[in-house]
A and B are shown apart, each in its own frame.
Chain A
Amino acid sequence: MNLTLKIWRQKDATSAGALATYQVKDISPDMSFLEMLDELNEQLNEQGEDPVAFDSDCREGICGTCSLMINGQAHGPEVTTTCQLHMRSFKDGDTITIEPWRADPFPVLKDLVVDRSALDRMIQAGGFISVNTGSAPEANSVPAPRDKAMRAFNVATCIGCGACVAACPNGSASLFLGAKITALGELPQGQPERWTRVVDMVGQHDHEGFGGCTNIGECTAACPKEIPLDVISQLNKDLRTAMKHGL
């Protein structure tokens, strides 16, 4: 297929950016969206024009590196990551607009690449269980009920891509945060730090400049791992309980 691409070009964090238009030809429907961009970049390199910078690594939908707004949707039209989106989701002759994640705590570094280190800093604030290497009890000495372990697993699949933030009109990272709070909070191992964790992580979230959640639901619609909205209710519930404990 032949396509028209409108791509956000921005030299670096401090320069202004703008959309530029490119044409690509003979795109196979079996290509992934990123392979289509590889093709464009080969073409640009040949013409002596700086290739488009974009992030990707695993290209298997698991590392969370790829991050593109495609026609205004985080990761594009399907419920998946950009690297797992294939060109068969588009039609010959389509015009596709490609932009970086947009949220104040995710500054653009170049073209389609943004800085998501705010997510790491939220983890540093308390997104872990404090256990030093070598001091763990025998694994089966603390049974975890299967349904709780399943729920913990289902939300632990969050890949930290930030699509939820990019999709949210408030720029909130509540879905990411809720997923972490729920994953650790469902397990017996996560209980001792449960209340301090939620207070510290939410504090960091606000400090980074992410917006508040007003229950719009765009986050869960955009989430490639289908993290359900009720993790945000869990987050709020845990936060209320923590407050009651006077934390």
Chain B
Amino acid sequence: MALLDGTTQTNQPPVQVSDDAAGYYTLGAPLVDPVAPTGPIKDRWTNRKFENRLVNPANRRKLDIIIVGTGLAGGAAAATLGEAGYNVKSFCYQDSPRRAHSIAAQGGINAAKNYKEDGDSVHRLFYDTVKGGDYRARENNVYRLAEVSANIIDQCVAQGVPFAREYGGLLDNRSFGGVQVSRTFYARGQTGQQLLIGAYQAMERQVAAGTVEQFTRHEMLELIVADGKARGIIARDLVTGEVSTHLADVVVLASGGYGNVFYLSTNAMGSNVTAAWRAHRKGAYMANPCYTQIHPTCIPVSGDHQSKLTLMSESLRNDGRIWVPKNPEDAEKDPRDIPEEDRDYYLERIYPAFGNLVPRDIASRAAKYQCDAGKGVGPAVREVDEEGNEKFVRRGVYLDFAEAIERFGLDGVKEKYDNLFDMYARITGENPYETPMRIYPAVHYVMGGLWVDYHLQSNVEGLFVTGEANFSDHGANRLGASALMQGLADGYFVLPNTIRDYLADGPFEKIDESHPDVVAARTETEERINKFLSIGGTRSADSFHKELGRIMWEYCGMERTETGLKKAIGLIQDLKKEFWSNLKVLGTADTLNQSLEKAGRVADFIELGELMCIDALNRRESCGGHFRAESQTEDGEALRHDDEFAYVAAWEFGGEDGQPVLHKEDLIYTAIEMKQRSYK
């Protein structure tokens, strides 16, 4: 199909005929990205940077920007916009910006530097990312991401990020799941920490310079939309309980992902959806909420007491080999006593081209199937299925380093992975240098988030969304080492260039705290806080969170079915009713009150959970992190339906008792052809 800009669209627009979610939603008008660039893909971003209007340095001082979040996306943006001379107010709920969840990222960050001359290029990174996301990402955004990736490494090295180096002093890199080139830069197993400290230090430099004002231990509880534009936030000081109003010309949400909706996840305890969800209720569309990434290499759950799950970096799959015993009777044997011929290296067997490095969605499902088939290892745990049948299943597979230790020596392996091995030993009480690790998939990352256009602006004017909090760039599945890349690309290079086009209309008319929309937002927030404290029921917020998590994991986890999702929606609606009538939060609002913080987050998670199930129910296809059992190939691989679902599902809040409204943005490919994904 020839397009007006001289390029050719390689795919057909989708026409949805199935309607599994009928009765749960209403259909809204189609959505297009109003600022999508055109022309040859390689020139789009360059041209756009030139076309975007400039803001004169003298005017920048008069423009106020609120940034919620100090992870890679928010921290990098605060530093860069501060340097440019804008007035930035930065918020995070932790006691220091340096503790944002990005700090926990282990494995690495991608960049198309082609330092290894192994055939990498901007185009290949672009291609791998779109394919890895099962052709559910926007090609414009992904191409830009690949393009700026190389600048990120330059920037971070100049800041003093101690990346791994070769003997000659040049940068080293490694490969990650889903690709066949080496393009992942890393700092042992602590890449996120080192990158975040770089961004944090750059931001603190601006705090000292007076361009960035930082509000730590402050939680955004409401978005202010005045006269149709995002103009500020309502925040609560988590120490004094004071609720305060902050006004600005533009608001940026960089508040991270909502994987904690599953209760057990690899996210930090405080990671939440509140900032995004409050914006959703104020009109911002929530896109592809059901796309959840399940990470294949986490330490298995050990019991009911658990508050979180711990990831073992994917980089371990470079050298570790994954296997299960061929005979279920061997499950309790010492793995070292199981001879080679009795082991099934199932990834190497089924996917010979990629082996242990298949993408995460594939590796995760493969592990689940081995365990479902009774070949798992570790303690047998009781499970109850949808029909109420009880069975005992071992949820674990081996990740074995014996061969790597033979190849590189113990010291070689230690140098690469020591902190990860230590962490494993600490949590499990087993020594992974001696016996293989046990791993199992866990919720890790969400590809869904607030809908944004090419400029990272949501459909609410003046509200920009960056990093994991937005939906863009990863499609239905994220390749390893791409989230850090996206966070920093957004924060350092994309947002500062796109937001200026918006700010060029300034200085804007200032509004003050007496504006009716501001007063309303503040009153609502205060009433909500009082409501939590006055329900006076019997159950803690945490117990509701746990129950929600169980429902989500069971029915909206690694595999979803029509009946399961319908059941989950009902269960969540009941849970919501119970929450608002039986919650118990002690203490008062005018002090540090962690139960109160938790209650607000859980309330939002419950509403989000319902929308995730509706989105998953509507999408009767399997793609990346969304696997509908009704849609699979003969050999059990995910089966997409491009003819029906090659679109972004952007949900509009339908009101307190109304149904969500679905807006579809068709995906248009010109530089890439959609193919069935194969890693065999």
Using CB atoms and an 8 Å cutoff, list the residues of chain A in contact with chain B: 11-12, 28-32, 34-35, 38-39, 42, 45-46, 48-51, 53, 55-65, 80, 84, 86, 88, 109-110, 113, 115-117, 119-120, 123-125, 127-140, 142-146, 149, 152-153, 156-157, 159-160, 183-184, 187, 189-190
Contacts and interface: CB of A to CB of B under 8 A. Distances in A.
Contact of A28 (B303, B584, B591, B595): B303
B271 to A, nearest CB: 8
A50 B587 contact: yes
B654 interface: no
Nearest to A158: B197
Interface-central residue, B95, B153, B208, B419, by most chain A CB under 10 Å: B95
B158 A137 contact: yes
Interface string B277-304: 0000000000000000000000000110
A184 B493 CA distance: 24
A120 B96 contact: yes
A32 B246 CA distance: 38
Contacts of B169: 143-146, 149
20 contacts: A31-B303, A32-B307, A38-B542, A57-B269, A59-B307, A59-B308, A61-B423, A120-B207, A125-B208, A127-B201, A129-B201, A131-B158, A134-B155, A136-B157, A146-B165, A149-B163, A149-B169, A160-B99, A184-B160, A189-B159
B218 to A, nearest CB: 13
Nearest to A143: B169
A187 to B, nearest CB: 5
A12 B592 contact: yes
A64 B193 CA distance: 11
Nearest to B496: A133
Contacts of A38: 305, 307, 542
B194 interface: yes
A59 B167 CA distance: 34
A60 B310 contact: yes
Given A84-B426, A117-B96, A60 B104 contact: yes
Given A57-B269, A133-B493, A65 B99 contact: yes
Interface in B163-211: 163-171, 187-188, 190, 192-194, 197, 200-202, 204-205, 207-208
A130 B208 CA distance: 12
Given A84-B427, A131-B155, A153-B188, A63 B94 contact: yes
Contacts of A60: 104, 308, 310-311, 423
Interface string B74-95: 0010011001000000000011
Contact of B204 (A35, A120, A145, A159): A120
A73 B427 CA distance: 20
A64 B268 CA distance: 12
Nearest to A138: B154
B580 interface: no
A117 B214 CA distance: 11
A152 B162 contact: yes
Contacts of A65: 94-95, 99
Contacts of B83: 132-133
B204 A128 contact: yes
Contacts of B163: 149
A58 to B, nearest CB: 5
B166 A146 contact: yes
Given A30-B302, A117-B216, A139-B158, 19 more contacts: A29-B429, A34-B307, A42-B540, A42-B542, A56-B269, A58-B104, A59-B308, A62-B193, A64-B99, A134-B151, A134-B492, A136-B155, A137-B158, A138-B154, A139-B157, A144-B165, A152-B162, A153-B187, A184-B160
Interface of B: 76, 79-80, 83, 94-99, 101, 103-104, 113, 115, 151, 153-155, 157-160, 162-171, 187-188, 190, 192-194, 197, 200-202, 204-205, 207-208, 214, 216, 239, 268-270, 302-303, 305-308, 310-311, 419, 423, 426-427, 429, 492-493, 496, 540, 542-543, 584, 586-587, 591-592, 594-595
Nearest to A47: B586
Contacts of B79: 133
A196 B26 CA distance: 62
A231 to B, nearest CB: 14
Contacts of B310: 59-60
- Grouping DSSP codes into helix (H, G, I), strand (E, B) and loop, the A interface class, with mixed when no group exceeds half, is loop
A174 to B, nearest CB: 19
Given A35-B305, A127-B204, A63 B99 contact: yes
A64 B98 CA distance: 9
Shortest 7 CB-CB contacts between residues of A and residues of B? A143-B169, A136-B158, A128-B201, A153-B162, A139-B157, A136-B154, A124-B208
Contacts of A144: 162, 165, 169
Contacts of B540: 42, 45-46
Contacts of A49: 586
B498 to A, nearest CB: 14
B104 A63 contact: yes
Given A51-B594, A86-B429, A129 B586 contact: no
Nearest to A49: B586
Contact of A131 (B159, B239, B493, B591): B159
Contacts of A32: 307, 427
Nearest to A184: B160
Given A63-B99, A128-B202, A139 B162 contact: no
B96 A139 contact: no
Contacts of A51: 586, 594-595
B193 A157 contact: yes
A145 to B, nearest CB: 5
Contacts of A50: 586-587
A156 B595 contact: no
Contacts of B96: 64, 116-117, 119-120, 160
B371 to A, nearest CB: 20
A28 B270 CA distance: 24
B104 A187 contact: no
A59 B268 contact: yes
Contacts of A30: 302-303, 305, 429
A187 B162 contact: yes
Contacts of A125: 208
Nearest to B269: A57
B492 to A, nearest CB: 5
A50 B205 CA distance: 39
Contact of A57 (B94, B115, B158, B192): B94
A136 B165 CA distance: 18
A124 B207 contact: yes
